[in-house]
Amino acid sequence: MTRALALGALALTLASLVSGCGGGGGASSASSAPTSTAAAAATGRVLPVPKNPISNASTAPGLTITKALVENNVSPDTGKAVDDHLEIALRNTSSKPLDRIGVYYRITDPARGVSEGYYTKLDRVTIDPGASRVVHFDPTGAADHYPVNKYSLYYTDKNALVVDVIASARNVKPATFTVKKDAGGAEAGVE
């Protein structure tokens, strides 16, 4: 009987993971994600996802990524350099607030032909019409900062990397941006 209970619990867990796959916008929503941002923050673990979970067929303009950095980050409060991390500036060009935003980013090492992707639901982010919001992916835990995998290619690979970013919100077209990270942690300037 114990084995049957264990198998039932495993089946329930797998079913909940499968049903959690979604994305921002369109018929799916960014509130469903294969990995929960809150769960990742609570456990301190962020795992790669096997594919981009964003499913958004909207063609209406409204969300743009105006800038993405992966190095040469600067604190807006102090103006001083901070540890390199993925930083994304999002802008709402629509006439309605944007929320339930999901971000998927894929880190690729072109020299080795390897890549890994991560999805984060921006739980606490609403962008008013005409406004911008900057979000960070790093281990600080500060406001508008989301957890990362400290064992990802970003932190462990010394080759040059390419980071492709997709941000999605309901009823607007997903925004995309590509940024490059120099080899060996060298600083390359603003991307």
Helix, strand, coil percentages for the chain (3-state, nearest 5): 15, 30, 50
Q: Measuring CA to CA, which residue among 168, 164, 189 is closest to residue 178?
A: 164
Predicted pLDDT of residue 124: 86
Q: Report helix, strand or coil for 12.
A: helix
CATH of the domain at 18: 2.60.40.10
Instruction: Flag whether 72 is in a domain.
Output: yes
With 60 as the cut, is the pLDDT of residue 1 above it? no
- The predicted-structure confidence for 107-146, as pLDDT tens digits, reads as follows 999 999 999 999 999 988 999 999 999 999 999 999 999 9
In a domain, 7, yes or no: yes
Find, among 91, 87, 70, the residue nearest to 169 by Cα.
91
Q: How far is CA 163 from CA 1, 58, 78, 178, in A?
A: 48, 23, 27, 6
Is the residue at 107 inside a domain? Answer: yes
Backbone phi, psi, residue 71, to 5°? -160, 165
Q: Is residue 21 part of a domain?
A: yes
Assigned domain for 190 exists = no
Q: Classify residue 191: in a domain, yes or no.
A: no
Is this structure's pTM higher than 0.85? no
H helices of 33-171, where? 37-43, 153-156
E-strand stretches of the chain: 63-69, 86-92, 101-109, 114-122, 132-137, 145-146, 161-168, 175-181
Domain count, the chain: 1
Domain assignment of residue 61, yes or no: yes
Please state the rounded mean pLDDT for residues 73-86. 92
22 domain-assigned: yes
| CA–CA distance, 167 with 29 (Å, rounded to integer) | 12
Residue-level pLDDT at 24: 37
Q: pLDDT per residue over 17-76, tens digit each?
A: 333 333 333 333 333 334 445 555 445 579 999 999 999 999 999 999 999 999 999 998
For residue 98, the model assigns a pLDDT of: 98
What 3-state DSSP class applies to 16? Answer: helix
Find the domain containing 130 and state its range. 2-185
The two three-digit tokens of residue 88, written as one number = 């994304």
